[in-house]
Amino acid sequence: MNTFFFKAAFCAYLVSALGYVASLLVNRFRIAKMALWLMISAFLFHSLFLLYRLFETGQTPLLGFHEALTFFAWVMAGIFLALQFKTRTVVLGAFVSPVVCLLMIYASLGLRSAVTIPAVLQGGLVPLHVILSVTGEALFALASCAGAMYLLQDRFLKSKKAGRISRLLPSLGDLDRINHLCLLWGFPLLTMGVLTGSLWARLALGNSWLWDPKQVWTFTVWGTYAVLLHQRLAIGWKGHKTAVFSLLAFLLFLAAFLVERAFFTTFHRFL
Amino acid sequence: MGILLIGMSHKTSPLAVRERFSLSCENRDHPLDRIRQMPSIREALYLATCNRVEVLVSAAEEAEQAVEEGLKALMAERGGISGQELERCLYTLSGAEAVRHLFRVASSLDSLVMGEPQILGQVKEAYREAVEHGVTGILLNRILHHAFQVAKRVRTETGIADNAVSVGYAAVELAKKIFGRLDGKVILLVGAGEMSELAARHLLKQGIKSIFVANRTHARALEMAEQFEGKAVVLEQVPEVLKSVDIVISSTGASNYVLTRDMVAAALRRRKNRFLFLIDIAVPRDIEPTAGDIDNVYLYNIDHLQELVDENRNHRLREAEKAEAIIEEEVGNHTAWLSTLDVVPTIVEFREKIEGIMKAELEKSASWRHSLSEMDQRHVESLMASIVNKILHEPTACLREQSRNQNGKAYAAALRKLFKLER
């Protein structure tokens, strides 16, 4: 049952991603609409999978690395779908669904069994820390997807090639709104994630700042987004600049993540 | 029964002739009232729009010639023009040709602006009127409903209605691509001009909040402001107003730039980088071209818009080919249905005749069947019924099958002869 839901969700995500790509290739909005419905069903299966895991193991299914990845994918898909109520951005799924698919593939490599959690990580603070941080990061990932699509549409409109594909892409206004909403929600969530993490570190280890590579990196990313949010809200950055900046910020986040995983040992690694 | 269509369209007749048939003249009776009274006509549809007049009737096949003459005379009378003049404008189609024509009309393939959506509504309205006049029957009902389906298929399966094909709509489409929704947005119209006013009107229909109108002469600005229910400003105020508008349509006769790059850049800072869509319809240009390089500013001039329109028009033409293929397929379906219609009465009569024989024989045998038990009597009856059904099945199926490849009539005739069916 457990893997059935996961497989069903993955298949639906995959077909949905193919549908999105196809809709861009043959320039048909109807296919994108169908892909959206597939993504909704994938999300439901995915939710069932996570719930099943939760009840089966009796612990929040996100402390293992692969578990955290599916959770990341789930949050990303969920927020994208929720945004469909506020904006007309169906085709943005063409950027979101492949990312979700990749996360699911990677997650599937190590999902066989539930991880055992050492005593020091037990308690409510650690899952809370992970949920908040991962949700915040998923929102940033979505902001970067919207940013990438924004740059594409912006190029079409600036070069007056507003014909074929451009018709399918969401409007600049909607994409910018997604960027805005994701920053607005993602930043406080990540902030709270960092705070709960350091609170836990203080309680469990007696020190809230450990010079752990992941702490340093997260703090840098947090700082970058703080600057972006400030520019957006106070200075009035909008559109093109924020799209570029949020794309770069997320690439920085990814690069740091990969470098850290490859070259550093960190206290912070997933189980 | 056959289908006959007589009509004229923007392709075959001048407006001066078409307008004489418009339905808006209320003092005259509806043409269907007249058509209904003509002999041999069973069903009728009268469609009149500004671009076409079409009369579609179903009539007995042998009377087709007379019906055609009658309809032409009626149209000449209604239009108040000579038969000769009318003849030049009219086309007459029958059978599958007529069906194809109706399908193309309903799908907007025959429209002046191909792919425009109004025509389907007009055909539906004409059908509603025909139903109200009680002049529809099995043939027209089927053709019209089929036409509505075809139109829907063409609309969803081809891109014939995609993209704007006029400069005004192109501006609306671009604005939607930039802003998403247009409600609450503000327009500034600089200078007067037919094309710019048309574009403004298209935009206003999309829920634009308010409009500013600027002109060199204040009196003219006031006049236009009244016309658009907007606010009038003088040309010198334009840089100031820029901070609170989202879309600018400019078409002055000025020889130098009305809006320079610096003005736009300054306005953008003051409006906190909110998107600005500049449409420059003027020749020579009103807006400094480099203004379009600024982030979040989208500048389109008349050539850009025209290019977009041309590209969209070509796209529609390519899509029209797909639509024609769909229509061919559906005309085929319709013809197949029609030809099964030819054999249906024969099948019914055939069945009635054989069943009649069975019933007669059962009655004849009533005297000796009395001696059987009730159960056995019922057994005999169901045995007979099942034999009859088995015998009927093959010829009936064969007849339906043959009717699809045009042989229906010959087979039906043979069957009638073999079994001595009446009529």
Chain A residue numbers touching B266 (CB-CB < 8 A): none
What is the rounded average pLDDT of the residues B84-111?
Answer: 90
Tell me how far apart the alpha carbons of residues A92 and A175 are, in angstroms, rounded to a whole number. 8
User: What is the side-by-side strand order in the sheet with B52-59?
Assistant: B41-48, B52-59, B2-9, B91-94
Rounded to an integer, what is the distance from CA B312 to the centroid of its chain? 19
Q: Provide the shortest C-alpha distance from residue B173 to chain A (in Å).
A: 9
User: What is the side-by-side strand order in the sheet with B231-234?
Assistant: B231-234, B210-215, B186-190, B247-250, B276-280, B297-301
Residue % of chain A over a pLDDT of 70: 86
Tell me how far apart the alpha carbons of residues B274 and B243 are, in angstroms, rounded to a whole number. 9
pLDDT at residue B130, as a whole number: 92
pLDDT at residue B27, as a whole number: 47
**Which of B177, B272, B308 has the CB atom closest to A172's CB atom?**
B177
> pLDDT tens for residues A148-181?
989 989 998 888 876 667 778 888 998 998 888 8
Between the CA of residue A157 and those of A139, A171, B371, what are the distances in Å? Answer: 26, 10, 94
Across the interface, do B308 and A163 touch by the CB < 8 Å criterion?
Answer: yes
Q: Provide the shortest C-alpha distance from residue A215 to chain B (in Å).
A: 35
What is the rounded average pLDDT of the residues A235-263?
Answer: 83
Q: Residue B103: pLDDT band by 50, 70, 90 thresholds?
A: very high
Instruction: Tell me if residue B46 falls in helix, strand or coil.
Output: strand
Least confident interval from A143-147, A225-229, A264-268, B340-344: A264-268
SS (HEC) of B112-177: CCCCCCHHHHHHHHHHHHHHHCCCCCHHHHHHHHHHHHHHHHHHHHCCCCCCCCCHHHHHHHHHHH
What is the rounded average pLDDT of the residues B318-335?
Answer: 91
Between the CA of residue B133 and those of B44, B75, B126, B128, B282, what are the distances in Å? Answer: 9, 19, 11, 9, 53
**Which of A153, A162, A238 has the CB atom closest to B308's CB atom?**
A162
Across the interface, do A171 and B177 touch by the CB < 8 Å criterion?
Answer: yes
Long-range contacts: B369-375, Cβ < 8 Å, 24+?
Answer: none
Across the interface, do A163 and B312 touch by the CB < 8 Å criterion?
Answer: yes
Question: Which of the two residues, B116 and A122, has the higher pLDDT score?
Answer: B116
User: Given the structure tokens 């096949």, which residue do they identify?
Assistant: B61
pLDDT at residue B386, as a whole number: 93
Chain B residue with CA closest to A176: the answer is: B179
Q: Is the dihedral of CA B136, B137, B142, B143 positive or negative?
A: negative
Across the interface, do B180 and A163 touch by the CB < 8 Å criterion?
Answer: no
Across the interface, do B273 and A239 touch by the CB < 8 Å criterion?
Answer: yes
> pLDDT tens for residues B337-389?
887 877 888 888 899 999 999 999 988 888 888 888 888 888 988 999 999 99
Catalogue the active-site residues of B.
50
**Which of A157, A167, A238 has the CB atom closest to B178's CB atom?**
A157
Instruction: Tell me if residue B278 falls in helix, strand or coil.
Output: strand
Q: Residue B239: pLDDT band by 50, 70, 90 thresholds?
A: confident
What is the rounded average pLDDT of the residues B93-103?
Answer: 92
Q: Residue A252: pLDDT band by 50, 70, 90 thresholds?
A: confident
pLDDT at B2 over 70: yes
Helix H or strand E segment including B192 = none
> Which of B:180-209 have CB within 8 Å of A?
180-181
Task: Count chain A–chain B contacts defined by CB atoms under 8 A.
Answer: 65
Q: Residue B218: pLDDT band by 50, 70, 90 thresholds?
A: confident
Across the interface, do A241 and B181 touch by the CB < 8 Å criterion?
Answer: no
Tell me how far apart the alpha carbons of residues A45 and A6 are, in angstroms, rounded to a whole number. 7
SS (HEC) of chain A: CHHHHHHHHHHHHHHHHHHHHHHHHHCCHHHHHHHHHHHHHHHHHHHHHHHHHHHHHCCCCCCCHHHHHHHHHHHHHHHHHHHHHHCCCHHHHHHHHHHHHHHHHHHHCCCCCCCCCCHHHCCCHHHHHHHHHHHHHHHHHHHHHHHHHHHHHHHHHHCCCCCHHHHHCCCHHHHHHHHHHHHHHHHHHHHHHHHHHHHHHHHHHCCCCCCCHHHHHHHHHHHHHHHHHHHHHHHCCCCHHHHHHHHHHHHHHHHHHHHHHHHCCCCCCCC
Least confident interval from A61-65, A197-201, B174-178: A61-65
What is the rounded average pLDDT of the residues B304-315?
Answer: 86
**Which of A164, A172, A241 has the CB atom closest to B178's CB atom?**
A172
Q: A143 near A80, Cβ under 8 Å? A: no
Chain A residue numbers touching B274 (CB-CB < 8 A): 238
What is the rounded average pLDDT of the residues B306-328?
Answer: 88
Give the residue from B167, B268, B269, B296 with the most A CB atoms within 10 Å of its CB, the best one to mutate: B296
Question: Which of the two residues, B310 and A268, has the higher pLDDT score?
Answer: B310
pLDDT at residue A116, as a whole number: 61
Q: Residue B316: pLDDT band by 50, 70, 90 thresholds?
A: confident
Q: Provide the shortest C-alpha distance from residue A161 to chain B (in Å).
A: 8
CB burial of residue A46 (10 Å; 0-12, 13-18, 19+): buried
Q: Residue B390: pLDDT band by 50, 70, 90 thresholds?
A: very high
Helix H or strand E segment including B58 = strand B52-59
Q: Provide the shortest C-alpha distance from residue B205 to chain A (in Å).
A: 19
Question: Which of the two residues, B207 and A263, has the higher pLDDT score?
Answer: B207
Across the interface, do A167 and B162 touch by the CB < 8 Å criterion?
Answer: yes
**Which of B180, B295, B296 has the CB atom closest to A88's CB atom?**
B180
From first CA to last CA, the distance across chain B in angstroms is: 15
Q: A13 near A39, Cβ under 8 Å? A: yes
Task: Give this prediction's pTM.
Answer: 0.72
Q: A93 near A171, Cβ under 8 Å? A: no
Question: Which of the two residues, A207 and B410, has the higher pLDDT score?
Answer: B410
Instruction: Tell me if residue B269 falls in helix, strand or coil.
Output: helix
Across the interface, do A162 and B177 touch by the CB < 8 Å criterion?
Answer: yes
User: Would you list the domain boundaries of chain A?
Assistant: 1-111, 118-270
Chain A residue numbers touching B304 (CB-CB < 8 A): 160
Residue type, B204: L
Comparing CA positions, the residue from A79, A230, A209, A192 lying closest to residue A144 is A79
Give the residue from B153, B178, B294, B310 with the most A CB atoms within 10 Å of its CB, the best one to mutate: B178
Across the interface, do A160 and B300 touch by the CB < 8 Å criterion?
Answer: yes
Residue % of chain A over a pLDDT of 90: 7
